[in-house]
């Protein structure tokens, strides 16, 4: 299938990208790796008037450890994250997730920032960001991850706003991301991420609602000394997962509990 | 409407005026006449369109041609020197790694990227490396076998892997 | 037939050098000067009245050459798309089908208009600009709803939705059930599948008004039938239509029947007097290329306590879609094959073809035989389950053992050795070992299951008498032509057309061996109706070797007969005194007196021929097989079901098959591996899903239609036994569909075996984690 026509410009810097977006008007869109956007263009489910290509904004392709945080540039590709020694040392869960995004071809093109801006309910990184209280840095502000995602495919980003960086706390401790899917390269039907911090466990869930979920009830039970089994039983509390051709809502709730427990067991 | 695209395709430097929405796969097939790269889906699942972009396997139907500006592209036609065969091509032939052959160029290109990084992949690593490619004919048994055979041939020094 | 130098050899494929280097020629690789591009405007509704079509905006787009609707196509096309009798000769309601809708659309994706533009990007833009006003009508997508009184009508002017309703009676079913000591009942679903050839369909047409010639390039398994159908619809003599099917990127049955675009593209070329090409997108493919399966079976099996099978009573509700597929009723052969490899006193099988507001179903790899096998093998396992017998033992107790074996419907199985394949499969799979491991796993609460499938297939279509009736007049024989050129090279033409099966290689091996020439001397050609015999019958139903290969063989024999006469003349000997070995005629007792067949070929173009002999060395031969051929085998699958998530893991898969003599074992193994993969895909992954309320397709892309990757499929252990077919000189059967016919039953029997401790006795396909979890939840209550 063929995308509808659009105008196209390349940005070499954040400033240029924002200026181009502003000039192109409200129906313009950013294209980074394009691995989610291009299928939507081809199916004509998305018909922007203008694409601003930010692949040339090299200043956004980096992994910087700084104090107790890991700053990751928005243009860092999945394959880079998966291989990065810095990521593996300071936030190995991010590398583990990156290695499980799509397939090698998609990982070679897709970017961290693209996942945040696209805000697919099945996106993996948002789960990590929400559960670890990461901060999303745009060209104009800093937004806590829990405030960044508003709904399915919807974020707080303004039409001319660019995701520049995500700031994650460093977390080298025990961790696991389990992604339940029918085929190895599919999106998660449900994903469960766990990360041990000095303050206790953090637990996040993928694709159990319109946005990533931090399983606070599970964390609280663990803090109170519950077993993994007992704590994971709380994973589906307050979830409102979708029912679709892949899985029913009930089954997703069930998977949330099972995967949470297994992730905790495997991480520990 | 056209914008300038400068790329090197199979070693040949090109400059073309292309429409922004032109997909890389259509640029390769129709502008460059390299029809070995195939289109099997609309949503980046099948991998039949896989080519190497600066050495990395990418899905050329999931990229705009203009996004390849400045890059070096290798397609199935350019994998081996004119008239020769890359060890992967030989291995697919010797191991009956193809039936209808439509997915084959994509598999070979994805496997070339895999073997450039990993000279001795396990079956599981081959599976991970080729997870983005679908074949409907072979049940993948002989594809896996062919990749193993090619890896061995390349280790034994038949030909340097592309990009590696 | 003995394994000789070429027959039985693992010859590397001749197709491959072009395909591995990117030089295959698939339909989309073809172009013509002045080519225009067609896009189809399709109905978004499963059922609606067309109130109006406004194409002004599309026509106004620069680069758009035309927008055509049904009214335009009526000028160059006539009649209704063909429907064959197949296995349901007594049809009740057969809706007319013009390739493009005029007043009413009856499935989502049905063509409503076409746009032709200078390039495909513009054609896509223009298709979006065609405004069609619809009045939605009630739709029905569930065949069991559609067959009940009061259902919405699939066609608003139809009498009801019943395409056919007939019963095959094989023996006294009441008597068989009357003696029953045990009866099991089951409802078994065969979900709709999308064949998903990796290469979507495509058509390019060039009509020349000056000499009224039409050339049609399309991705087809069946170019001669397409020529017949399209020439008829366009009113062009068949001799002036040439159909070329180039490299075909998979078919699996989905490229047999004619499609609307096969008519609309050449018709548009005639209307515009320009070459026109249309290439299907994957999204169009899932929506509008035929689907396979789509059946609901209810079945009861009767048996004695000792495991003797008595009777099988079943109803097949076959979801036809909005129109009859051209060969859609072939799938009713599930009924005729429902008895499998066993002796039954009686079988009664009712088949009901039901129209629904969905794309038509038609043969998909196996076409009725996987369904019949799945049904039979599930029912046999249910009986074993009920009796507490080992399923292998119950099978053995009931195997047909005397051949030819006549089944309950009068079909004659040519040869078989069902114990042989089962024994070998049990051994190779370590069946007893798995039973032990299963027992200890169960003690740990783990769910391991072992499943069998002992299958037989009817293939090699087919004898002229039944198949001529089934197609409505054209007997499915096969034709071949062999020509020796003066230089000694051989051009062999055959009316089958490979789409991945490696015919270039297998058939060349066969011809080279038979004629005693080097493999390199043989050029195998197929897929172009302008070459070779006047008609060809296509590749489907695992027929190509057993029928097409035989046609090549008989044509070779005709060549040899003439060559022998000529050689005798040249050697001044009597024809009967010549021996033909290794490509040369020698006079018996005088090996010095020798003419190679290639020397004879050159001489055949010369001036000194025997009296009455014409120049040249070529032959056309038709092979009409005396019977179908009947491959068979035994498969064993071992699975583990994750008790918590319902995920199924295949721990081991074994297949032992028998397709008679083998020309190229490498290709045979490849066919089996691929066939098994497709059937495992049905058992565990794939399903076309429509929303029951809106009738909308929910699995419209490869994101949701789950073709498995390498990571989800096992590497099967394979072996073969060899029981030649006595009905053809090569002793060959067919192998293209074997794996697909066998595997789904083995997998599902294994899953059911795994779940048996929970009191679960049947699982439908796909056995998805969600479905299994739900069953386990219900069983736990």
Separation between Cα atoms, residue C454 and residue C328, nearest integer Å: 26
Instruction: Answer whether residue C611 shows pLDDT above 70.
Output: yes
pLDDT-based confidence at residue C1 (cuts at 50, 70, 90)? very low
C63 touches chain A (CB under 8 A): no
Task: Kindly report the nearest CA distance between residue A144 and chain B, in angstroms.
Answer: 31
> If you average pLDDT over residues C131-148, what whole number do you get?
98
* pLDDT given for residue A1 in this prediction: 87
User: Pick from C466, C365, C376: which is nearest to C418 by CA?
Assistant: C376
* pLDDT given for residue C536 in this prediction: 96
Do residues A157 and A73 share a domain?
yes
Phi (first) and psi of residue C283, to 5 degrees: -60, -40
Separation between Cα atoms, residue C407 and residue C171, nearest integer Å: 10
> If you average pLDDT over residues C755-760, what whole number do you get?
96
Mean pLDDT of chain A: 97
Q: Is residue A2 part of a domain?
A: no
**Residue of chain A whose alpha carbon sits nearest to that of B23:** A2
Do residues B75 and B94 share a domain?
no
Q: Is residue B56 part of a domain?
A: yes
pLDDT in tens, C13-67: 999 999 999 999 999 999 999 999 999 999 999 999 999 999 999 999 999 999 9
Instruction: Answer whether residue C5 shows pLDDT above 90.
Output: no
A181 and A122 in contact (C-beta within 8 Å)? Answer: no
pLDDT in tens, A144-195: 999 999 999 999 999 999 999 999 999 999 999 999 999 999 999 999 999 9
Phi (first) and psi of residue C298, to 5 degrees: -115, 135
Q: Which of B58, B74, B109, B140 to probe the A interface (max A CBs under 10 A)?
A: B58
Q: Is residue A42 part of a domain?
A: yes
> If you average pLDDT over residues B73-101, what whole number do you get?
96
DSSP letter for each residue of C420-486: HHHHHHHHHHTHHHHHHHHHHHHHTT-EEEEEEEEEE--BS---HHHHHHHHTS----EEEEEEE-T
C649 touches chain A (CB under 8 A): no
Do residues A39 and A96 share a domain?
no
Note whether C20 contacts B77, CB cutoff 8 Å.
Answer: no
Q: Look at the block and give the residue holding tokens 């070998």.
A: C424
Do residues A210 and A232 share a domain?
yes
User: Pick from B88, B77, B76: which is nearest to B145 by CA?
Assistant: B88
Note whether C128 contacts A246, CB cutoff 8 Å.
Answer: no
Find residue A28's DSSP bridge partners: A50
> If you average pLDDT over residues C577-593, what whole number do you get?
94
A/C interface, count of CB pairs below 8 Å: 53
C581 touches chain B (CB under 8 A): no
A31 vs B contacts (CB less than 8 Å)? 64, 67
Report how far apart, in Å, the C-alpha atoms of C487 and of each of B94, B160, C598, C689 are. Answer: 31, 42, 7, 58
Note whether A247 contacts C645, CB cutoff 8 Å.
Answer: no
Cβ neighbours of residue C614 closer than 8 Å, sequence gap 6 or more: none
Separation between Cα atoms, residue C601 and residue C609, nearest integer Å: 11
pLDDT in tens, C458-501: 999 989 989 998 888 999 999 999 999 999 999 999 999 999 99
Residue-wise over A237-254: b if at least 16 C-beta within 10 A, else e?
eebebbeeebbbbebbbb
C625 touches chain B (CB under 8 A): no
Sheet holding B56-59, edge to edge: B12-18, B3-9, B72-74, B50-53, B56-59
Sheet holding C590-596, edge to edge: C578-581, C584-587, C590-596
C701 vs B contacts (CB less than 8 Å)? 41-43, 45
Residues of B (92-121) whose Cβ lies below 8 Å from C: 92-94, 96, 98-105, 108
Instruction: Answer whether residue A83 shows pLDDT above 60.
Output: yes
Do residues B14 and B74 share a domain?
yes
B136 touches chain C (CB under 8 A): yes
Q: Is residue B164 part of a domain?
A: no
User: Pick from C241, C245, C246, C230: which is nearest to C208 by CA?
Assistant: C241
> If you average pLDDT over residues C535-549, what whole number do you get?
95
C499 touches chain B (CB under 8 A): yes
Whole domain around residue B63: which residue ranges? 3-79
Q: Which of B38, B58, B79 is the last residue of a domain?
A: B79
Closest to B42 (Cβ–Cβ): which among A34, A42, A51? A42
Q: Is residue B112 part of a domain?
A: yes
Q: Is residue B144 part of a domain?
A: yes
Separation between Cα atoms, residue C774 and residue C521, nearest integer Å: 61
A79 vs B contacts (CB less than 8 Å)? 56
Do residues A15 and A47 share a domain?
yes
Note whether A258 contacts C645, CB cutoff 8 Å.
Answer: yes
A2 vs B contacts (CB less than 8 Å)? 21, 23
C247 and C21 in contact (C-beta within 8 Å)? Answer: no
Other CB atoms within 10 Å distance of the CB of residue A156 = 13
> If you average pLDDT over residues B50-70, what whole number do you get?
97
A184 vs C contacts (CB less than 8 Å)? 709, 711-712
Q: Is residue B15 part of a domain?
A: yes
Do residues B24 and B75 share a domain?
yes
The radius of gyration computed from the CA coordinates of chain B, to the nearest angstrom, equals 15
CATH of the domain at B121: 1.10.150.120
Note whether A184 contacts B127, CB cutoff 8 Å.
Answer: yes
A184 vs B contacts (CB less than 8 Å)? 127-128, 131
Do residues A11 and A68 share a domain?
no
Residue-wise over C654-664: b if at least 16 C-beta within 10 A, else e?
bbbbbbbbbbb
Separation between Cα atoms, residue C390 and residue C451, nearest integer Å: 11
Angle, helices C369-387/C391-398, rounded to nearest 10 degrees: 110
Q: Is residue A88 part of a domain?
A: yes
* pLDDT given for residue B158 in this prediction: 53
Q: Is residue B20 part of a domain?
A: yes
Phi (first) and psi of residue B156, to 5 degrees: -80, 5
Do residues A66 and A48 share a domain?
no
Residue-wise over C138-172: b if at least 16 C-beta within 10 A, else e?
ebbbbbeebbeeebbbbbeeeebbbbbbbebebbe
Q: Which of B88, B99, B125 to probe the C interface (max C CBs under 10 A)?
A: B99
Do residues A79 and A156 share a domain?
yes
pLDDT-based confidence at residue B1 (cuts at 50, 70, 90)? low
CATH of the domain at A219: 3.30.390.50
Do residues B15 and B55 share a domain?
yes
Q: Is residue B163 part of a domain?
A: no
Task: Kindly report the nearest CA distance between residue C520 and chain B, in angstroms.
Answer: 17
**Residue of chain B whose alpha carbon sits nearest to that of A185:** B131
Separation between Cα atoms, residue B104 and residue B101, nearest integer Å: 5
C712 vs A contacts (CB less than 8 Å)? 182-184
Q: How many residues does chain C have?
A: 781
Note whether A39 contacts B64, CB cutoff 8 Å.
Answer: no
* pLDDT given for residue C3 in this prediction: 47
Note whether A31 contacts B67, CB cutoff 8 Å.
Answer: yes
Residues of C (272-311) whose Cβ lies below 8 Å from B: 281-283
Q: What would the two tokens of residue C369 be?
A: 């035989």
> If you average pLDDT over residues C449-465, what whole number do you get?
95
Do residues B72 and B111 share a domain?
no
Note whether C19 contacts B41, CB cutoff 8 Å.
Answer: no
Task: Kindly report the nearest CA distance between residue A240 and chain C, in angstroms.
Answer: 17
CATH of the domain at A34: 3.30.43.10
Instruction: Answer whether residue C172 shows pLDDT above 50.
Output: yes
Task: Kindly report the nearest CA distance between residue A84 and chain B, in angstroms.
Answer: 15
Separation between Cα atoms, residue C77 and residue C344, nearest integer Å: 50
User: Pick from C552, C452, C540: which is nearest to C734 by CA?
Assistant: C540
Cβ neighbours of residue B143 closer than 8 Å, sequence gap 6 or more: B92, B97, B98, B107, B130, B135, C710
Q: Which of B131, B134, B163 to probe the A interface (max A CBs under 10 A)?
A: B131
The subunits that touch chain B, with at least 3 C-beta pairs less than 8 Å apart, are A, C
Closest to B139 (Cβ–Cβ): which among C197, C282, C674? C674
Q: What would the two tokens of residue A226 be?
A: 């519950």
Domain count within chain B: 2
Task: Kindly report the nearest CA distance between residue B98 and chain A, in angstroms.
Answer: 21
Q: Is residue A247 part of a domain?
A: yes
DSSP letter for each residue of C708-768: --GGGS---EEEE-----TTSTT-B---TTHHHHHHHHHHHHHHHHHHGGGT----PSS--
Find residue C720's DSSP bridge partners: C657
Do residues A182 and A120 share a domain?
no
Residue-wise over C691-727: b if at least 16 C-beta within 10 A, else e?
eeeebbbebbbbbbbbbbbbbbbbbbebbbbebbbeb
Other CB atoms within 10 Å distance of the CB of residue A194 = 31
Closest to C20 (Cβ–Cβ): which among B35, B99, B104? B104
Do residues A43 and A72 share a domain?
no
A255 touches chain C (CB under 8 A): yes
Sheet holding C648-658, edge to edge: C447-456, C632-641, C648-658, C717-720
User: Pick from C95, C69, C99: which is nearest to C162 by CA?
Assistant: C95
Q: Which of C704, C773, C774, C781 to probe the A interface (max A CBs under 10 A)?
A: C773
A10 touches chain C (CB under 8 A): no
Do residues A245 and A159 share a domain?
no
The alpha carbon dihedral of C689, C691, C695, C696 has a sign of negative
Domain count within chain A: 3
Task: Quickly list H helices, B27-103.
Answer: 87-94
Residues of A (159-198) whose Cβ lies below 8 Å from C: 180, 182-187
pLDDT-based confidence at residue B83 (cuts at 50, 70, 90)? confident
Q: Look at the block and give the residue holding tokens 């998977």.
A: A255
CATH of the domain at B70: 3.10.20.30
> If you average pLDDT over residues C689-706, what whole number do you get?
95
A216 touches chain C (CB under 8 A): no
Q: Is residue A1 part of a domain?
A: no
User: What ipTM describes this predicted complex?
Assistant: 0.96
Q: Which of A147, A169, A191 is the last residue of a domain?
A: A169
Domains along chain C with CATH numbers? 16-20+478-623 (3.30.365.10), 32-365 (3.90.1170.50), 414-461+627-780 (3.30.365.10)
Cβ neighbours of residue A224 closer than 8 Å, sequence gap 6 or more: none
> If you average pLDDT over residues C245-260, what whole number do you get?
97
Phi (first) and psi of residue A263, to 5 degrees: -65, -40
Q: Which of A38, A44, A75, A101 to probe the B interface (max B CBs under 10 A)?
A: A38
Do residues B10 and B72 share a domain?
yes
Note whether B103 contacts C28, CB cutoff 8 Å.
Answer: no
* pLDDT given for residue C4 in this prediction: 62
Do residues A115 and A41 share a domain?
no
User: Pick from C674, A92, A52, A65: which is nearest to B143 by CA?
Assistant: C674
Instruction: Answer whether residue A238 shows pLDDT above 90.
Output: no
Give pairs for C423-427: CB < 8 Å, separation 24+: C424/C634, C424/C656, C424/C719, C424/C721, C425/C452, C425/C633, C425/C634, C425/C635, C425/C636, C425/C654, C425/C655, C425/C656, C425/C719, C426/C392, C426/C634, C426/C636
Q: Which of A169, A195, A224 is the last residue of a domain?
A: A169
The subunits that touch chain C, with at least 3 C-beta pairs less than 8 Å apart, are A, B
Report how far apart, in Å, the C-alpha atoms of C316 and of each of C173, C354, C371, C630 are. Answer: 17, 10, 10, 23
Q: Which of B46, B79, B112 is the last residue of a domain?
A: B79
> If you average pLDDT over residues C634-646, what whole number do you get?
98
A38 vs C contacts (CB less than 8 Å)? none
* pLDDT given for residue B163 in this prediction: 43
Do residues B97 and B144 share a domain?
yes
Whole domain around residue A161: which residue ranges? 61-169
Do residues A197 and A124 share a domain?
no
Do residues B102 and B138 share a domain?
yes
Do residues B147 and B111 share a domain?
yes
Q: Which of B63, B79, B95 is the last residue of a domain?
A: B79
C708 touches chain A (CB under 8 A): yes
A182 vs C contacts (CB less than 8 Å)? 685, 706, 712, 768-769
Instruction: Answer whether residue B164 shows pLDDT above 90.
Output: no
Q: Is residue A165 part of a domain?
A: yes
Separation between Cα atoms, residue C414 and residue C412, nearest integer Å: 6
Mean pLDDT of chain C: 97
CATH of the domain at A108: 3.30.465.10
Find residue C303's DSSP bridge partners: C182, C309
DSSP letter for each residue of C45-62: SSSEEEEEEE-HHHHHST
Do residues B66 and B101 share a domain?
no
Separation between Cα atoms, residue C422 and residue C393, nearest integer Å: 10
Cα–chain center distance at A74: 11
Task: Kindly report the nearest CA distance between residue C121 and chain A, in angstroms.
Answer: 6
pLDDT-based confidence at residue C685 (cuts at 50, 70, 90)? very high
């Amino acid at each position: 299938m063929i995308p509808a026509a659009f105008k196209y410009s390349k940005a070499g810097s954040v400033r240029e990208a924002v200026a181009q977006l502003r000039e192109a008007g409200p129906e313009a869109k950013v294209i980074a790796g394009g691995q989610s956007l291009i299928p939507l263009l081809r199916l004509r489910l998305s018909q922007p008037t203008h694409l601003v290509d930010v692949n040339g904004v090299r200043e956004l392709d980096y992994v910087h450890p700084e104090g107790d945080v890991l700053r990751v540039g928005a243009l860092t590709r999945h394959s880079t994250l998966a291989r990065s020694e810095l990521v593996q040392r300071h936030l190995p869960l991010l590398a583990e997730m990156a290695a499980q995004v799509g397939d090698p071809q998609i990982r070679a093109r897709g970017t961290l920032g693209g996942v945040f801006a696209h805000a697919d309910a099945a996106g993996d990184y948002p789960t990590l960001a929400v559960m670890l209280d990461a901060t999303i840095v745009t060209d104009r502000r800093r937004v806590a991850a829990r405030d960044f995602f508003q709904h399915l495919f919807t974020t707080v980003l303004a039409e001319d706003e660019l995701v520049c960086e995500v700031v994650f706390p460093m977390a080298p401790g025990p961790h696991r991301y389990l992604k339940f899917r029918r085929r190895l390269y599919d999106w998660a039907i449900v994903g469960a991420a766990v990360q041990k911090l000095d303050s206790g466990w953090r637990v996040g869930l993928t694709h159990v609602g319109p946005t990533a979920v931090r399983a606070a009830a599970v964390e609280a039970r663990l803090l109170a000394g519950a077993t993994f089994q007992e704590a994971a039983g709380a994973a589906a509390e307050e979830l409102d997962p979708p029912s679709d051709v892949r899985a029913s809502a009930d089954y997703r709730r069930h998977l949330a509990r099972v995967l949470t427990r297994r992730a905790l067991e495997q991480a520990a | 409407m056209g914008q300038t695209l400068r790329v090197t395709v199979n070693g040949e430097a090109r400059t073309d005026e292309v429409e922004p929405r032109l997909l890389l796969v259509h640029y390769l097939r129709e502008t460059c006449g390299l029809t070995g790269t195939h289109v099997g889906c609309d949503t980046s699942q099948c991998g039949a369109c896989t080519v190497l972009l600066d050495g990395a396997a990418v899905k050329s139907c999931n990229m705009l041609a203009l996004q390849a500006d400045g890059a070096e592209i290798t397609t199935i036609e350019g994998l081996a020197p004119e008239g020769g065969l890359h060890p992967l091509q030989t291995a697919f032939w010797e191991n009956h790694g193809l039936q209808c052959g439509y997915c084959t160029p994509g598999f070979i290109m994805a496997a070339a990227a895999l073997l450039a990084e990993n000279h001795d992949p396990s079956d599981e690593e081959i599976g991970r490396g080729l997870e983005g490619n679908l074949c409907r004919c072979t049940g993948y048994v002989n594809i896996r076998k062919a990749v193993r055979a090619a890896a061995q041939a390349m280790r034994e020094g038949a030909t340097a892997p592309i990009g590696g | 037939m003995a394994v000789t130098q070429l027959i039985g050899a693992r010859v590397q494929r001749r197709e491959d050098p072009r395909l591995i280097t990117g030089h295959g020629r698939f339909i989309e690789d073809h172009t013509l000067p002045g080519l225009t591009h067609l896009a189809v405007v399709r109905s978004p509704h499963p059922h609606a009245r067309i109130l109006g079509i406004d194409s002004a905006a599309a026509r106004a787009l620069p680069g758009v050459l035309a927008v055509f609707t049904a009214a335009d196509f009526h000028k160059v096309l006539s009649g209704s798309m063909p429907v064959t009798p197949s296995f349901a000769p007594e049809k009740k309601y057969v809706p007319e089908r013009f390739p493009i809708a005029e007043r009413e659309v009856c499935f989502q994706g049905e063509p409503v208009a076409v746009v032709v533009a200078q390039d495909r990007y513009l054609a896509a833009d223009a298709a979006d600009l065609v405004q069609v006003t619809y009045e939605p009508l009630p739709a029905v997508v569930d065949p069991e709803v559609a067959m009940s009184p009061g259902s919405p009508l699939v066609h608003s002017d139809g009498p009801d939705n019943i395409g056919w309703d007939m019963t095959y009676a094989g023996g006294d079913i009441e008597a068989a059930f009357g003696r029953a000591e045990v009866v099991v009942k089951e409802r078994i679903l065969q979900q709709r599948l999308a064949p998903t050839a990796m290469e979507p369909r495509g058509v390019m047409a060039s009509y020349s008004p000056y000499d009224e010639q039409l050339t049609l390039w399309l991705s087809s398994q069946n170019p001669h039938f397409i020529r017949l159908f399209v020439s008829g619809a366009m009113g062009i003599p068949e001799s002036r239509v040439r159909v070329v099917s180039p490299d075909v990127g998979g078919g699996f049955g989905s490229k047999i029947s004619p499609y609307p675009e096969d008519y609309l593209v050449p018709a548009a070329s005639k209307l515009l007097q320009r070459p026109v090409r249309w290439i299907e997108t994957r999204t169009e493919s899932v929506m509008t290329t035929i689907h396979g399966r789509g059946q609901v079976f209810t079945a009861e099996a009767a048996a004695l306590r000792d495991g003797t099978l008595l009777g099988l009573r079943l109803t097949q509700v076959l979801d036809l879609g909005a129109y009859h597929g051209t060969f859609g009723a072939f799938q009713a052969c599930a009924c005729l094959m429902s008895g499998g490899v066993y002796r039954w006193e009686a079988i009664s099988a009712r088949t009901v073809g039901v129209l629904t507001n969905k794309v038509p179903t038609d043969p998909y790899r196996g076409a009725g035989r996987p369904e019949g096998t799945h049904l039979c093998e599930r029912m046999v396992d249910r009986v074993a389950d009920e009796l507490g017998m080992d399923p292998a033992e119950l099978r053995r107790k009931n195997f047909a053992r005397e051949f030819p074996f006549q089944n309950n419907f009068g079909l004659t199985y040519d040869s078989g050795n069902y114990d042989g394949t089962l024994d070998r499969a049990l051994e190779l799979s370590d069946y007893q070992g798995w039973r032990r491991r299963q027992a200890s796993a169960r003690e740990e609460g783990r769910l391991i299951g072992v499943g069998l499938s002992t299958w037989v297939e009817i293939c090699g279509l087919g004898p002229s008498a039944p198949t001529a009736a089934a197609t409505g007049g054209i007997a499915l024989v096969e034709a071949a032509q062999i020509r020796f050129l003066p230089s000694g090279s051989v051009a062999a033409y055959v009316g089958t057309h490979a789409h991945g099966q490696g015919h270039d290689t297998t058939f060349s091996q066969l011809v080279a061996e038979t004629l005693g020439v080097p493999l390199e001397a043989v050029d195998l050609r197929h897929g172009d109706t302008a070459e070779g015999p006047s008609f060809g019958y296509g590749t489907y139903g695992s027929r190509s070797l057993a029928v097409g290969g035989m046609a090549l063989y008989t044509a070779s024999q005709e060549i040899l007969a003439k060559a022998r006469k000529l050689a005798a003349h040249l050697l001044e000997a009597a024809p009967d005194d010549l021996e033909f070995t290794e490509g040369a005629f020698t006079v018996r007792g005088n090996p010095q007196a020798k003419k190679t067949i290639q020397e004879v070929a050159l001489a055949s173009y010369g001036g000194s021929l025997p009296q009455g002999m014409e120049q040249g060395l070529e032959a056309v031969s038709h092979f009409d097989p005396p019977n179908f051929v009947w491959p068979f085998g035994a498969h064993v699958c071992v699975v583990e079901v994750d008790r918590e998530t319902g995920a199924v893991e295949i721990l081991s898969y074994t297949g032992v098959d028998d397709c008679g003599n083998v020309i190229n074992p490498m290709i045979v193994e490849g066919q089996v591996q691929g066939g098994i993969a497709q059937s495992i895909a049905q058992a565990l992954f794939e399903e076309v899903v429509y929303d029951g309320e809106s009738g909308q397709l929910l699995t419209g892309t490869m994101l949701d239609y789950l073709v498995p990757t390498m990571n989800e499929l096992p590497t099967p252990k394979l072996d073969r036994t060899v029981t030649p077919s006595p009905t053809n000189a090569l002793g060959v059967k067919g192998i293209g569909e074997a794996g697909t016919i066998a595997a789904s039953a083995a997998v599902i029997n294994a899953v059911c075996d795994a779940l048996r401790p929970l009191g679960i006795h049947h699982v439908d396909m796909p056995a998805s984690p969600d479905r299994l979890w739900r069953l386990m939840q219900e069983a736990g209550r």
